[in-house]
Structure 1
Amino acid sequence: MTTSTAGIWNFESLNNLASRVGTPFWLVDAAALRRRIRAIKEITNTGGLQSRYAMKALSATRVLKEMREQGIWIDAVSGNEVLRALRAGFPAGNQPPVILLTADVFRDNALKVILDHGILPNIGSPGMVRQLADAGYNGPIAMRVNPGFGHGHVNACDTGGPSSKHGIWLSAAGEAADAARKAGLRVVMLHAHIGSGPKMEELLANLRRLAGEFARLATDFPDLEAISLGGGIPHAYKESQGEIDVTPLGPLFGEARELLIKAVGRDVRVEIEPGRFFVAPSVSLVTRVADVKKTSTNEKGQGQTFAMVDGGFVDLIRPAMYGSYHKITVHSARGAAPEKDIVVAGPLCESGDVFTRDSSDLLAPRHLPEPSPGDLLALHDAGAYGYAMSSNYNSIGRAPQVWLEEDGSTRLISRRETIEDILKAETDEAV
């Protein structure tokens, strides 16, 4: 964060903001977002690549506009994500395909959006060729392949290999290409995404391997204009990990581009599509401590101190889903308190509504200044798959998002949902 935005991280400033928007709320740091955009642009400029933003990570219109202004393209995964990107000012059409719609299944309005707006579809299953043709589509397509290998910070985030649902198995890509030609569809782009958030050395090794696989496969696709190496650039969630150095990716991407151009025999656009890396450090979830309570040690286990906060996994589900770690800071009007092991838990009627747990689903108390009711707790590095995966469980409305500009000014970019928002889709009509 900049000096201006760093000034928000004290009780008085946060409490002042909380008095206006309530808690919990999401705080989006524009300076942190722009730093990550610059870091990606530096490595893509070095390698001569085009970057896309995997908007599923955080699809707020204000974030999308920031990407558009910086020349970042979009990878969408649903028809509605395409419509959000269009609303944020990204152009329709596929010359060039600034918006790419990647899907394993066409659901809801996806086919209609492709047809209405000329969006390039990126198919992840062979049968989607026939679905496009039956819908009357006769434009170019992209094809997502599963290269048979991948990586991820947890198994659920590994998107390559026999256990992954994503993409067309590499050995079946030629058959899918033949089906596309028979349907009158040109495959202009090959795409793979092999995982999210691995260690950097794993990413580098797998990207080199992926570039080699694409170089061998590319000769079967005479209309090829672009190749995407996917995303997966990691973010360091734990302070002990230090900042991730992405500069080694620049030369690697340049080498991959040269290899692919040589294999195809002409210039092709090479792309990457980070999501997590762009937005993870730019957002924090700010919650209020409602109470602090304790349990005693007995034959069933160790006693704990629970800080009960008003944010829960309806807001940030990653700790409950993956055992993910998020840095937590305590902001108190009393100043610093002695540290002790604290379990941070939310308000939901669900035993798993705990922010401090590990990947084995056990409690992982955090050593923190002991909070008191009324204090504010912030969960940091929550930009990727935080608000985007929030829900209305227990009929709770999604928390508001606040944009923190570099000069310290703030703007509400999405309001808190009300019960009226939650109920407005309910009806009682004959079908």
Structure 2
Amino acid sequence: IDASSGYEVRRAMDMGVPAEKISLSSQELPTDFEELVKLGVKINCCSISQLERFGEAFANTSQKVGVRVNPGVGSGGFSSSTTGFSKTNVGGPSSSFGIWHEFVTDGTVPAIVEKYGLEVERIHTHIGSGSDPAIWQQTAKLSLSFCAIWDTVTSLNLGGGYKVGRNPDEKTTDLIEIGSPVADAFKDFAKEHGRELKMEIEPGTYLVANAGALVTKIQDKVSTKSSSSDDGHIFLKMDAGMTDVLRPSLYGAIHPITILPGTGKSEDIG
């Protein structure tokens, strides 16, 4: 389980997921993070201050810890920008997720790790949901260079869900096509550094995006059209909303819609 808050960690454990099978990457450290670590939860520190707090709590104990790195680029399913803002872009200078990569390579993070006697076991990067496959590959190879900084690193988590073709003109990511170069990069790393890394991925909605459909019924029709202008719209109100599918409201995501009228003849409207 990849958890984003202490509450998600607790829910997962309540459902029977072993603590050692849970990884936590959160914008804020839970107040009970020390207890979670002692239970076996793997924590990825997502900022320098988080790493300092973690180090103060487990100073000179060789406690294992993960480091989430902002690799300097990002890619979201609704933006072609690698550095600008997008609601699903969580990498680059416009994102606060993870420790900025320059603090990893300039010695700042290694110095904190050494000061508190910690053991970095995981590097975690996440550039966005529905990211561009080419940018994901680029980030994967860059992330391996972060793994080379500590010989204690045993796994690399390459976060970010894969594109799913929900509409006729959209292409679903070919996992073999994007994964083969990354697998080769892992093999090259093993040859160069004498150790194999475990690759962790976060498929996101890839597994379930097209696994079902939301069936709703039109309940009302409202018009704001005026006889004196071309402004206004006709709204069809349904018995479902963002409580059932949040993505359009939250991300501006586009989902295919099909009308099934009483005549039995269906019509795709977008």
Q: TM-score range by the shorter chain?
A: 0.7 to 0.9
Residue pair 1:147, 1:169 contacting (<8 A) in 2 also? yes
Of 108, 124, 130, which residue of structure 1 is paired with 2:52?
130
Amino acid at match of 1:126: I
Please state if 1:170 is matched with 2:111: no
Aligned partners of 2:16 and 2:102: how far apart in 1? Answer: 38
In structure 2, distance between residues paired with 1:302 and 1:213: 50
CA distance in 2 between partners of 1:147 and 1:208 (Å): 12
Taking the aligned partners of 2:34 and 2:244, their CA distance within structure 1 comes to: 31
Q: Any idea what SS the aligned residue of 1:261 has? A: helix
Higher mean alpha-carbon deviation, 284-293 vs 230-239, is at: 284-293
2:187–2:196 CA contact under 8 A, matched in 1 = no
Q: When the two structures are aligned, how many residues end up with a matched partner?
A: 259
CA contact (8 A) 1:294 1:305 kept: yes
Deviation at 1:291, TM superposition (A): 1.8
Residue equivalent to 1:221: 150
| Residue identity matched to 1:178 | A
* 1:192-233 Cα deviation digits (max 9, x unpaired): 1112113xxx32x22332233233333321211111222231
1:277 Cα deviation (Å)? 1.3
Q: Using the alignment, how far apart are the partners of 1:281 and 1:79 within structure 2? A: 30
Deviations 1:363-406, CA, capped at 9 Å, x for gaps: xxx838xxxxxxxxxxxxxxxxxxxxxxxxxxxxxxxxxxxxxx
Q: Structure 1: any 5+ residue segments left out of the alignment?
A: 1-73, 340-365, 369-431
Q: Distance in 1 between matches of 2:212 and 2:47?
A: 34
Q: 1:246/1:220 Cα in 2 relative to 1: closer, same or farther (>3 Å)? A: closer
Counterpart amino acid of residue 132 in structure 1: F
**Aligned residues of 2:123 and 2:146 also touching (Cα < 8 A):** no
Please, what is the CA RMSD of the aligned residues? 2.5
Match in the other structure for 1:195: 128
> Counterparts of 1:160 and 1:289 in 2: how far apart (Å)?
40
Provide the secondary structure at the position in 2 that maps to 1:256: helix
1:250-329 counterparts in 2 under 5 A? 250-298=179-227, 301-329=230-258
1:316-374 deviation line (CA, Å, top 9, x unaligned): 2322233211112334444227x6xxxxxxxxxxxxxxxxxxxxxxxxxx838xxxxxx
Structure with more relative contact order (C-alpha pairs < 8 Å, separation 6 or more): 1
Contact 1:150–1:195 (Cα < 8 Å) also in 2: yes
- 1:116 Cα offset (Å): 4.7
C-alpha separation in 2, matches of 1:231 and 1:162: 17
**Preserved CA contact (<8 Å) 1:319 1:325:** yes
Quick one: structure 1 residues 259 and 248, their matched pair in 2 at CA, closer, same or farther if it must change by over 3 Å?
same
User: Helix, strand or coil: the match of 1:215?
Assistant: helix
2: distance between equivalents of 1:224 and 1:273? Answer: 19
**Counterpart Cα distance in 2 of 1:324 and 1:297:** 30
| Counterpart code for 2:184 | E
- 1:268, CA displacement in angstroms? 1.6
1:153 counterpart = 2:43 = no
Would the aligned equivalents of 2:90 and 2:126 in 1 still touch at CA under 8 Å? yes
1:214 and 1:260 in contact (8 A); partners too: no
For 2:228 and 2:200, locate their aligned partners in 1 and report how far apart those are by CA, in whole Å.
56
Percent identity of equivalent pairs = 32
User: How far has the Cα of 1:310 moved from its partner?
Assistant: 1.9
TM-score, with length taken from structure 2? 0.84
